[in-house]
Structure 1
Amino acid sequence: MPPLFRRASRASLVTLVRKPGCHLCDDAEAVVAKVCADLGVPWEQKDITQDEDLNRRYWEQIPVVLIDGEQHTFWRVNEDRLRKALG
């Protein structure tokens, strides 16, 4: 299966790449936190302003959601799509 459709038992980490003061990032955080809590999948946040590599790769797409380091989505996080990718 493509990495975007891994099951939660195989997903080890969801990463939300965000920046301070970003309302889309706040919306994405709420979705990621809810879905990951429901499915028991760990997640983390990374600040794009504190990481040169992330800044270079994702600046124009913030917020970005990665599943095990692979890009899942950007800008608006769809709860159903994330749930399907993890579950």
Structure 2
Amino acid sequence: MVVYTREGCHLCEAAEAQVAAVVAETGDGWERIDIDADPELVRRFGEQVPVTFVDGRQHDFWRVDPDRLRAALAR
């Protein structure tokens, strides 16, 4: 599970907290990637952060629904 974020993004902070809580329950791991460190990621995601990926596929952006994330991680 990957969360693409950027510094100073309040939605990113909320999403990271949701992801951390869910993976603490499920035992899955996750990685935070700051898009501002890579111009290609900035071009790709722009203002759509946070963006979550599960198993290499885009799962969501802007908000994290904990139930939906649990279901995706269970697959």
Do they fold alike, i.e. is TM over 0.5? yes
Q: How many residues align?
A: 74
Give the ranges of 4+ consecutive aligned residues of structure 1 lying more than 4 Å apart after TM superposition.
none
Q: Does 1:48 align with 2:53?
A: no
Q: In structure 2, how many angstroms separate the alpha carbons of the residues matched to 1:50 and 1:16?
A: 14
Identify unmatched segments of 5+ residues in structure 1. Answer: 1-13
Q: TM-score, normalising length from structure 1?
A: 0.80
Q: In structure 2, how many angstroms separate the alpha carbons of the residues matched to 1:55 and 1:68?
A: 21
Q: Identify which of 63, 66, 70 aligns with 1:79.
A: 66
C-alpha offsets along residues 37-56 of structure 1, whole Å, 9 cap, x if unaligned? 11111100000100122111
Counterpart of 2:48? 61
Identify unmatched segments of 5+ residues in structure 2. Answer: none
CA RMSD of aligned residues (A): 0.9
Q: Does 1:22 align with 2:1?
A: no
Q: TM-score, normalising length from structure 2?
A: 0.92
Q: In structure 2, how many angstroms separate the alpha carbons of the residues matched to 1:29 and 1:64?
A: 10
